[in-house]
Structure formats: C-alpha cells, structure tokens
A and B are shown apart, each in its own frame.
Chain A
C-alpha cells in the first residue's frame, strides 16, 4: 500500500455530541498537499459530514485558520510534507466557541473590529473632482505592513490575554486601527483612542508577542500595539500636563 498519513480531527456536532471528540482518518500521503487538501479528501472520500471553512487555497482569504499540532496555522499553507511520519492533529482555533467540528464563531471579532472605526476618517469629504490624494511611497510604507491582515484570527488563538480576558479587543483589530492611525490621509486617531486607549484596548496586552510569531502575513500586531501604547501615553500626558490640557 502506498504511503499514508493519519489526520486526527476534533469533531463536534451540537445536534448530536455532548462534547467534542477526536476521530482519526487515514489519508494518502501527497508531497504537494496542504492540510486543507487532506480535509477535502476526508470530506469527499471518507466522511462528507466533516465541517471546516476554506476557499482561496492561497493564504489570502483567511478562512482556514485552525490548530494544527497545537499551533495556530492556515490549513491551506501547512504542507503535509512538513508532518511526514507524524500524526497530524487538527482542532478548531483556540479561544473561540466551536460551532461545529473545525468551524468557530467569529462574530465577536467583527464586533470588536467595528468598534474601532476601521475606515478612513476625514474632516471633510473630498470631492471626486479633486482626484486622488497624494501619498508618498514613504507615507505608504509607514502603514502598509498593517494593511496585510487577512483576518485569519491565528493571533487571537495564540494570545494568552485573549484566553483569559474575553473583553480584550485583541491583536488583529488593534493592528487594523493602527493601520488607519498611521495613514497620512486619516484623522481618526482621536476617535479610535476611545477604544484603543481604554482598559480593554492596548493596556490589556502584556507584550508576549505570540501574535506576531504566528501571523502568516507578517503584520506584527505586537508592534502595532506597542506603538499605540506609546501614542496613548502621550495623549494621556497631553491631557493632563501640557498647557491647554484639561487639568
């Protein structure tokens, strides 16, 4: 028989199961396969009831985040060849409620993101007739890394604060807020600071840096949070100590 590999999948169907359980599937070993291909194989050939998310197969839609051998990973970017000879254990992303099998509830993230005014805030609407804003390549470079977030939520699964504190806005949402704050066309930092500077904003972060380690797009949310902390401190000082402040 040709080479195989065992995929151990966490299964949970709230209609049927009292609690999650593991199930093993033996699939062919293929050098070029990613874990998402193995799951598709399982669904097609072994168990059509397996539930998971995935679409683009090119690490850009952010659908397929899951725990693979306890690491938060994109299933479409995790090659079976890197697990050759091992048992591959696949579980839903940590720190999110499971809906079914590998599918977790992500609504909370979208609510947190929405609370941060994640769009360009400008003082005036610029008429279209004035054409595009000017923005130098250096100005673009200042925020560009933070535009790369695919909302895969691996960073939430890696973050020890998210684990113990539901209210924490979390790495990706803060990175996206920072992306707009650093955009030369934006003037919404003040508005966002209501949330970013609040208790469940940046100050919940204890700077473990796990988010940046697992990020498949090198967004470096930890750096975004650090820099927001610095700006938040300045805002705080300005309000209290500088001439014209509130006290």
Chain B
C-alpha cells in the first residue's frame, strides 16, 4: 500500500474544496496540500449551479436584511451566529472571485449585476448569466493551478477516515486508474464532498452526489445534523430532473396550472402582480412552492406529461432577446431535453430533489467535533440553511466556509504533529481488507436492486409530505437494506477503473445517509420548512426549536438526539410571504 504524507488533506475539489485549498496555500505556502477528488475538479457538481450567489452589494440592501431573509427562510432553524458571520463575509468572498477573474454579469455602468432570487427581499444574487456555478468552479480550478503547494489527486475515491486517539489523522482512498489503495497521512483533513441528492430517484444532482463524505464522517463517530431537511426545487424538467434555474422566475417567469391560472395565489403567496414582486408568488421560497405543487396535484389541476404530472413555467413574455441574454442555458436545456423552445411555449416543470440542508455537524469555524476534521460546503451543516435553504446562499456558503475550513485546518496543522505511522498503517490495512473481501466473497445481493429499493422508499416515504406511517415503513425498509448490503455482490473484479466498485461503495454511503434522513424525520413530529408532516402540520417551537443529531450506532439504526438552535436576535416568528411580506 502507498502512503502519502501531507500537511492538509482535502477530500473534494468542488467549490468548497478548491476554495479551502487556495486559502491554505495563501495562508501558508509551506504547507503541503493533497487535494483529493473522485472526479476531475471541473466535473464537480458545483458546475451545474445556474442561478447565482448571494451577497449584499446594493446601497438599499443590508446585512440585516440578508440575515432576516435567511433566518426566516430557514424557518428559524438556522444558527444565527453562523448566519451573521455568513452574510458579512459573503460580499467579500464574491469580490475575491471577481478579482480572480470570475466573469460575473455586469450592469451598463460596469458594476457587477445582481438579480432577484426566491425568498430574498432585494436583489442581491451575483450571477454569471445562468452558468454561475460553472464559472465559479472553473475560475477556482484555474486559479488553484497557480499554487505549487497544491498537489491534486484526481480520480481518487476516498473510502474512510483515519482516526487515532480521537483525532483525525488522514484518510484512505483508491486510485481509480490502478485500483491501488493509498493512505494519506495528514495533520488536518477537510471534507468537501458535496450533497447526497442521489438517495432519491428524481433529482437535479449529478451521479456523483452520493453523500460519501457524510458517511465517512458518520462512521468515524461524527454526527450528521438536520438530515431530515431535504430541499425540493419547484422547477425540474420531468423525466431527467434537469434544473430550470430559479433565475428564470427572478427574471419574471410565471408558474401556471392546467387552466393557465397562477395557482400560487391560492397558497398565501399572492397577490398575483403581473411584475415580479420579491418574496411573493413565483419568488416565494422553494419549500412553499414545492408544497403548492403537491396540493395542485391532489386537486387534479396539474398537467399530465409522459413523465408524470407537471405545471407550466412561462417565460415567453420576456421575449427572445432577453431570454438569450439572461437565460441562454434555460433555453438550451428546454429545447434539448423536452423539445420545447421557451420563446414560444411554456416549459413543463415539477418539484425535484435538489439540496441537502443537513450534513456533517460543524461549528461556525467549519470544525467538526472530531479534532483535526473540518467540513465545508453542501456536505456540512453549520447551519446557515436551517429547515430550508434560500436559493443562491449555498454558492456563497461554499466560499465563506470553504475559506474558514482552510484557515481552521492551517491553525490545527501548525499546532499538531502527524499521527503515528503504525496507526495509519493498521487502519489502512483494515480498510484494504474490507475492499478485498468484496473482491473475494461471492455476495448474493445485487447493488442496482438495492439502490432501486432505496430510491423508491425514499420517494414514497420521505418525500415532500411525510407521515408517521410512511416514515416507519421507509425506516424498516432501509434497516433491511443495510443488512442486505453486507451481502452485496461485486460483479467487476478488475483493478483498473472499477466503476462497479465505486458504485457499490457509493451505495453503502447512500444507505447510511438515507437512514439518518428517514430516522430524523420520524423523530421530528412537527412541520418546519422543507420537513412537512401531514400528521403534525404545525411548527412546534416548544419541542423542536432544535437541530437533530444523528449518530452512528452499533444497532441497525442511528441514534437521534438533539441540540438547541443558536438564537441571537431573531425570535421565531411567522414566515410571511406574498403581499403581507413587503
């Protein structure tokens, strides 16, 4: 087995991981950085983000307003100290991206342009046409090439953390090209592995978003926080789940049902002004919009398509010129994947799993409870997103907390030595033995079949609306799948680029993550943000103004605990959208 000794190891080279790597390199060029990613950095899913990144810049905007939108958008489950810090740091980070060359869209006077976004009171979303994440990722990746202290390990699949005497001392990864197992010994480790939307069957998330880092931390004893909160985006293309950005509604797009009626006015989001009003109608928060779709569907007012029910997203009135200028990708995607040119016809859309609010438990410095382990980006839960993330906060979050994780790791690495070589060796050999067992044992369970069952039970039991019955059912199925997974069969026994092995390991991670989602959802007998219980339709601050904390246990299910939310200055109130909100 190869051993690589580095100072700081970063797993994940999406927006959060790259930002962290650059921060470490800038803070202390003498520190060696190993940047490990299962795909080339520019393939990371940050690339798919369209709409933009939030940060206060306009004179009529303020940190307080961004704070209020975020905290009420998150249904008061956000830690307010974290949100305060976040909104203050976001504009600086976005400016830094500009200095690094990010091609942000501009106003006529040459200033960076900002657009409206769902749940945001004023325009504060920086965007690069409708390819914001793409441009951010490439800017970060290309900028990272400047720093000689960053060594990249592209297409290395990380399987577990090295933990010695209650401290994280590195990790183990498979070099996909050779099949070799490599131990990375590091003084500090940052997880930046992204979200886990793939536990659901219908998602905007790419095939690589399988919650690996969450599962690695969880198995190493680090809890996962607020996992029951899964965001549905209201506008995905039926069939593929490809996202139509909220930017389309920010520019004035309308949602109508089968009768051409703007149904959102029936769900407390009106009045239906003909122009976009911030925080109202189509610019309401994602949880409310996705829930409204479900109600329309119950009433039989949705549009039938070959790929399930949908509603219409209409941007025709923007005209071809504006559509091409502001929303070129929306047009391209709609034409390619549903055969509809939005210049001439409305686009069919439906809610689709989009974002995991929950994740690895960290404090506001991106540190996890395990010393030496940091986490940032979608895999982490700080928490600034609470029960419902506001669109465009996460592209800012990956920068703000990626950088903080970098700084935290630098401080930790300077204060602590490496773990022992022998400890690393022993742990890495144990990891290797587990993988070898997959190669040698003829398991009886088919991985695709287990995955399909997991996907189905997550959709039917842990979807937009949940009940005790549906959740119990899903929890039982998932516990059973976990047991069956012990007998999973690896079909491909080659060493080089064994993507069957990768998929099996990803499935193992997803099963852990799915279980924490379902079990935490079962425990939370209230409705808050994206977590809606038909049997407990009201928010219950007395019992549940708290984060759920899911810990790995020897039993076949996680243990679910809780921790109070940090409230500094905003007492839980009513979430008001529509005319009442402005």
Contacts and interface: CB of A to CB of B under 8 A. Distances in A.
Interface of A: 13-16, 32, 43-45, 48-63, 77, 99-101, 103, 105-107, 110, 113-114, 118-120, 122, 125-126, 128, 131-137, 139-140, 143-144, 147-151, 176, 180, 183, 185-186
A118 B111 CA distance: 24
Given A59-B332, A134-B111, 16 more contacts: A14-B496, A32-B239, A32-B240, A53-B43, A62-B47, A107-B154, A118-B142, A119-B145, A120-B143, A122-B99, A131-B95, A135-B110, A137-B106, A147-B103, A180-B101, A185-B101
Interface stretch (B79-87, B372-380, B487-495): B487-495
B65 interface: no
Contacts of B42: 61-62, 150-151
Nearest to B146: A119
Interface string B475-515: 00000000000000001101111111001000000000000
> What are the nearest 4 A-B pairs in CB distance?
A134-B110, A120-B101, A49-B492, A48-B491
Contact of B101 (A44, A48, A119): A119
Contacts of B43: 53, 55-56, 61-63
Query: How many residues of B sit at the interface, in one of the four size bands?
Result: 35 or more
A176 B96 CA distance: 20
28 contacts: A13-B496, A15-B494, A15-B495, A16-B494, A32-B239, A45-B448, A48-B500, A53-B39, A53-B43, A54-B207, A57-B242, A58-B48, A58-B337, A63-B39, A99-B497, A100-B496, A103-B497, A106-B40, A113-B142, A119-B101, A119-B139, A120-B99, A128-B99, A135-B106, A136-B110, A143-B103, A144-B103, A180-B101
Given A61-B48, A62-B43, A119-B145, A136 B101 contact: no
Contacts of A106: 40
Contacts of B303: none
Contacts of B206: 55-57, 61
B146 A133 contact: no
A118 B145 CA distance: 8
B92 to A, nearest CB: 6
B135 A147 contact: yes
Interface in B232-276: 239-240, 242-243
User: Which of A50, A126, A132, A180 has the largest number of chain B CB atoms within 10 A?
Assistant: A132
A128 B503 CA distance: 43
Interface string B143-160: 101100000001000000
B13 interface: no
Given A150-B134, A186-B101, A57 B240 contact: yes
Contact of A140 (B95, B106, B448): B106
Contacts of B40: 63, 106, 110, 151
Contact of A119 (B100, B242, B495, B500): B100
B531 interface: no
A140 B491 contact: no
A119 B112 CA distance: 19
A58 B95 contact: no
A91 to B, nearest CB: 16
Interface in B96-147: 96, 98-101, 103-112, 131, 134-135, 138-139, 142-143, 145-146
Interface of B: 39-40, 42-45, 47-48, 92, 95-96, 98-101, 103-112, 131, 134-135, 138-139, 142-143, 145-146, 154, 177, 206-208, 239-240, 242-243, 306-307, 329, 332-333, 336-337, 447-448, 491-492, 494-500, 503
Nearest to A14: B496
A53 B499 CA distance: 9
A122 to B, nearest CB: 8
A136 B106 contact: yes
A44 B497 CA distance: 16
A77 B335 CA distance: 11
Contacts of B500: 43, 48-49
A128 B145 contact: no
A60 B110 contact: no
A50 B337 CA distance: 25
A111 to B, nearest CB: 10
Nearest to A122: B99
A56 B48 contact: yes
B48 to A, nearest CB: 5
A60 B143 contact: no
Contacts of B48: 56, 58, 60-61
B57 to A, nearest CB: 8
B98 A133 contact: yes
A200 to B, nearest CB: 19
